[in-house]
Structure 1
Amino acid sequence: ANYTVPTRPSERRIDRVVIHVAQQLFTPTAGIFRTPSKQVSAHYVVRSGDGHVAQCVREKDIAWHAGNWSWNTRSVGIEHEGWVDRPEFFTDVMYRRSAVLTADICDRHGIPKDREHIVGHHEVPGSDHTDPGVHWDWERYLRLVRDVA
């Protein structure tokens, strides 16, 4: 229940990927997205330990992740297990699996693989969030996204 089915799915243009850090472990994050009273979701969650990716909302639907309706309607949200102040959760396998996912999303939707189009939650207009935080390695992440064959 924590998403919106667009009235005209064929007119929905995805032009951004929003990177989040859940401030929570993987399983509770997925549980939050299944709880209607929480009124929050993301399209995907990536687990820290093994890079497992779970899809929570179909890309054709609008996840409630950005805190800005306009951005929700035009972006795909990817949550990552962990906390912004605990860089040990940002494992190599998590970065790599997330980068493969982001590259695939960009390729399918024609999104440039750059910092203008792959953004942190804190960069969404009106956001009061800090994720993915200062420990997120944007240079590394974008290099991985661009290097996906």
Structure 2
Amino acid sequence: MPASTSNYTAANRPTTYPVEYVIIHVTQETYADTLAIFKNPAKKVSAHYVVRSSDGHIAQCVRERNVGWHAGNWSYNTRSIGIEHEGWVDKPQYFTDEMYEQSAALTAAICKKYGIPKDREHIIGHVEVPGADHTDPGRHWDWSRYIRMVNFA
């Protein structure tokens, strides 16, 4: 489900920029609406992946070699892979077992590919990006569970 080429920067990562982080987001939109936003060239936003709540289905929107516009911080955009999760920060029912399982497996594969440590210093929430004005993934995201699943995937 490719994002508009107007919504990311073409690159040749990790040659042009090292990949050092995975940034966890929550869409604040439905899965379908998120994909539509990423396809809209006027929106100027994208992430590498979107994970659907109901079944954990993963859509890739930006190739990992390219720089997604998801962190709100250019330095972190260049050095990270962004994973959006369908849902809202104040609606924990969206954080399903299937979503956690598929997202954790994806994050584990990304960490293995780029040599990223599977810890909270390198797998961070959007809220933890310097200068970020977002609160996602929010207080209902189970970080202990997620990091454990990433390490056992």
Q: TM-score, normalised by structure 2?
A: 0.94
1:144 and 1:24 mapped to 2: Cα distance?
25
Task: Please list every run of 5 or more consecutive structure 2 residues that lacks an aligned counterpart in the other structure.
Answer: 1-5
- Which runs of structure 2 are paired with 1:1-149 in the superposition (5 Å)? 1-6=6-11, 10-148=15-153
Q: CA deviation at 1:10?
A: 1.9
Q: Deviations over 1:1-41 (max 9, x none)?
A: 20001277623210000000000110110110011111000
Paired letter, 1:11: T
SS in structure 2 at match of 1:126: coil
Q: Which moved more, 1:4-13 or 1:123-132?
A: 4-13
Taking every aligned residue pair, what percent have the same amino acid on both sides? 64
RMSD: 1.1
Secondary structure at 2:24 match in 1: strand
Cα distance in structure 2, aligned partners of 1:8 and 1:141: 26
Question: Normalization by structure 1: what TM-score?
Answer: 0.97
Q: Does the residue aligned with 2:15 lie in a helix, a strand or coil?
A: helix
Structure 1 letter corresponding to 2:79: R
Describe the shift of the 1:107–1:23 C-alpha distance in structure 2 as closer, same or farther (beyond 3 A).
Answer: same
Structure 1: gaps of 5 or more residues? none
Tell me how far apart the structure 2 counterparts of residues 34 and 58 of structure 1 sit (CA, whole Å): 14
4+ runs of 1 displaced by more than 6 Å? none
In the alignment, the residues of structure 1 paired with residue 133 and residue 16 of structure 2 have an alpha-carbon distance, to the nearest angstrom, of: 29
Distance 2:78 2:87 in 1: 25
How many residue pairs align between the two structures?
Answer: 148
Q: Secondary structure at the match of 2:54?
A: coil
Distance of 1:97 and 1:136 partners within structure 2: 15
